[in-house]
Amino acid sequence: MQSTQKNIKNNDLLLEVNNLNVFFNTTDGLIKAVNNINLSINKGECLGVVGESGSGKTQTFFSITGLLSNNGYCKGSAIFKGFDLISSSKKERMKYLGKSIGFIFQDPMTSLTPHMKIGDQLSEISIFHDNLTKKESLKRALEVLDIVKLPKSRNLITSYPHELSGGMKQRIMIAISLMCSPELIIADEPTTALDVTTQSEILNIFNDLKNQLGISIILISHNIGVIAETSDNIIVMKDGSIVENGSTYNVLTNPQDKYTKLLLSCIPPWLDV
């Protein structure tokens, strides 16, 4: 398993995280939320991250993208295409954030700015990163809305977030991350807040992004069933550490860790893997 990963690494490695630790200053002292994590993802691959809630999945990827809250800090390295996201200055990191790396959050209901039109929230990102004019970037917005299969996109441009359903908002979030044609999308529990039908529609979109556009995806979930179908590799986290790491097939058919077995016992039997 180790050796196969090494092989691919040399071909087209996209992101490599080494010895990542995340700490929080709290009133009860210093908390270590993420403990010495190593992971890597290649171009066009999907990496699934599972673990119970509170296991440090979110904070791992917040730390890589500089989104930790004020009382948190991290140590380690996260090399994205040869560039260390963690040791770099905020200004340099901003060139990658939103441009090459898109982030999709767990709660679509509160993740869009309530007082801005959808069109503006989409277009601002390529106006900023790609120097498009407002008109060009709205045209781009219509294209990405098509990719995320939002019907009647033209009306959407002028509507406000509160006029949309949860599923639509999450598609908008995906559309935002697609605006600048990213190479990596980090999706943190993108379907947890949604109902089952919407859930599978959203997962289908991720499948398309990977298979048709060749975008690498990090798919985070507390539910191993959600990520099993899309992921090529899986890491399992518990209490801030990785307890299992391998190809989806290996992890699902031959889990080594007790905790992984427990997670697997929760998958509905009809899921075909």
Residue ranges binding another protein (CB under 8 A): 26-27, 65-67, 69-71, 93-99, 102-103, 105, 107, 110-116, 120, 124-125, 128-129, 160, 162, 173, 176
Asked if residue 59 binds Mg ion (CB under 5 A), the reply is no
Selection from Mg ion, another protein, ligand ADP, none that 54 binds (CB < 5 to 8 A by kind) is ligand ADP
Q: CA-CA distances (angstroms) from residue 208 to 66, 178, 216, 227?
A: 28, 12, 11, 14
| Longest Cα–Cα distance in the chain | 55
- Residue 193 C-beta: closest distance to another protein, Å: 11
CA distance 65 to 256: 31
Asked if residue 73 binds ligand ADP (CB under 6 A), the reply is no
Asked if residue 38 binds ligand ADP (CB under 6 A), the reply is no
- What are the φ/ψ torsions at residue 265 (nearest 5 degrees)? -65, -15
Asked if residue 59 binds ligand ADP (CB under 6 A), the reply is yes
Of 6, 12, 19, 26, which one interacts with ligand ADP (CB under 6 A)?
26
**Size of site (CB under 6 A) for ligand ADP:** 15
Of 14, 16, 20, 72, which one interacts with ligand ADP (CB under 6 A)?
72
Helix 134-147 vs helix 166-178: crossing angle, to nearest 10: 120
Pick from 58, 176, 63: nearest CA to 116: 176
Pick from 64, 77, 167, 175: nearest CA to 126: 175
CA 176 to chain centre: 13
Asked if residue 65 binds Mg ion (CB under 5 A), the reply is no
Selection from Mg ion, ligand ADP, another protein, none that 98 binds (CB < 5 to 8 A by kind) is another protein
Decide: 263 and 236 in contact? Cβ < 8 Å.
Answer: yes
Binding site for ligand ADP (CB under 6 A): 24, 26, 31, 33, 51, 53-59, 69, 71-72
